Amino acid sequence: MRAYQITSHEIRPDVTDIAKPEPSKGEIRIRIGACGLNFADLLMQKGTYQDTPPLPFVGGMEVAGVVDAIGSDTAGPAIGTRVAVFAGHGGLAEYGCYDARRAVPLPDDMSFEDAAAFVVAYGTSHVALDYRARLQPGETLVVLGAAGGVGLTAVEIGKLMGATVIACARGADKLAVAKQAGADHLIDTTTEDLRSVIKSLGGADVVYDPVGGDQFKAVFRACNPEARLLPIGFASGDIPQIPANHLLVKNLTVMGLYWGGYLGFKPKVITDSLTTLMGWYGKGRIKPHISHVIPLDKANDAMDLLRSRKSTGKVVVTMS
């Protein structure tokens, strides 16, 4: 089968032919239709992600497709079932084997492209805002990187939860995407001062931050008393240091979120969240924004879109 295999953290990977995997006990094999890309895929290529597997490995964290084989002592889902899976890796291939317990059956009207763009981005934002931050109607939510894969879903979900949403992104085109997702206020991070604009809008009650760096520092200083800050990732490459005395003075709470970690110690958090999200999708309340759909043979082009920040929402790779 064809697969985008990483054999070195220093050499640019490419699509190659490798053996088709066979499912082990407790696993299903999926004929993959689409794979959604995430910033973590770039970190895995460099070997800097917290869950980077040993070399060689196939990239791609979230997949959608059809179950085509089942391992021994595996209850299902049945062969022929359309599913999405948070794979961790292995999604940029024509076939992949995964823990059957991670498979989420898809609504009949959900395309593989939508499904591959759905699980990680929406799951991260929903668990962050609902389970961790307990975002309340009427609160002000500030979203950094608001036109990116997870940021855009945070805008959408925050608005659904009744918050006033301030979207922060680079340039008018990206801000227009955030506006379409429901943002109430827009801040161009290339030209405007985050701290002063947010304070003029009443300050931040919840901060959703996949960026880090100077943007985190600026928004930190625009928080209201008892605000909650959610570090989701560090796309800027700069991990900010948090002054503990400021937490004390303003009664602030910083709560990290590694969404995939819940699979290991509290999987019900994820399954309950995905049940809610699939229900919202079925009712037309949420819809993934996919800026690019790229064939597997051009997977490096898809990665470059993330690396150069030229995409909005999600980039999805298809196998055909």
Q: How far is CA 315 from the centre of its chain?
A: 11
Q: Where are the alpha helices (DSSP H) in the chain?
A: 39-46, 112-116, 119-126, 149-160, 172-180, 194-200, 213-220, 244-250, 262-265, 267-282, 299-307
Res 45: pLDDT = 95
The label of the residue with tokens 């699509």 reads: 15
Alpha-carbon gap, residue 76 to 85, rounded angstroms: 13
Pairing between β-strand 103-105 and β-strand 14-17 as defined by DSSP bridges: unpaired
Tell me the Ramachandran region of residue 93: left when phi exceeds 0, alpha when psi lies from -120 to 50, beta otherwise. Answer: beta
The label of the residue with tokens 């299902």 reads: 76
Q: Which two tokens mark 320?
A: 């055909």
Alpha-carbon gap, residue 150 to 171, rounded angstroms: 18
Res 82: pLDDT = 96
Res 309: pLDDT = 86
Q: Where are the domains of the chain?
A: 2-118+288-318, 121-259
Res 236: pLDDT = 86
| Fold match flag (2-118+288-318 vs 121-259) | no
Residue type, 44: M
CATH no. of 121-259:
3.40.50.720
The label of the residue with tokens 């959703």 reads: 208
Res 102: pLDDT = 86
Whether domain 2-118+288-318 has CATH 3.90.180.10: the reply is: yes
Q: Which two tokens mark 46?
A: 């460099």
**Which pLDDT tens digits describe the chain residue by residue (320 residues)?**
999 999 999 999 999 999 999 999 999 999 999 999 998 999 999 999 988 999 999 999 999 999 999 999 998 899 999 999 988 899 999 999 999 988 989 988 999 999 999 999 999 999 999 999 999 999 999 999 999 889 999 999 999 999 999 999 999 999 999 999 999 999 999 999 999 999 999 999 999 999 999 999 999 999 999 999 999 988 888 999 999 998 999 999 999 999 988 988 998 898 889 889 988 998 999 999 999 999 999 999 999 999 998 898 899 999 98
Q: Return all residues near 231 (Cβ < 8 A) that are at least 6 apart.
A: 209, 212, 216, 254, 256, 257
C-alpha distances out from residue 312 to 26, 258, 286, Å: 36, 22, 16
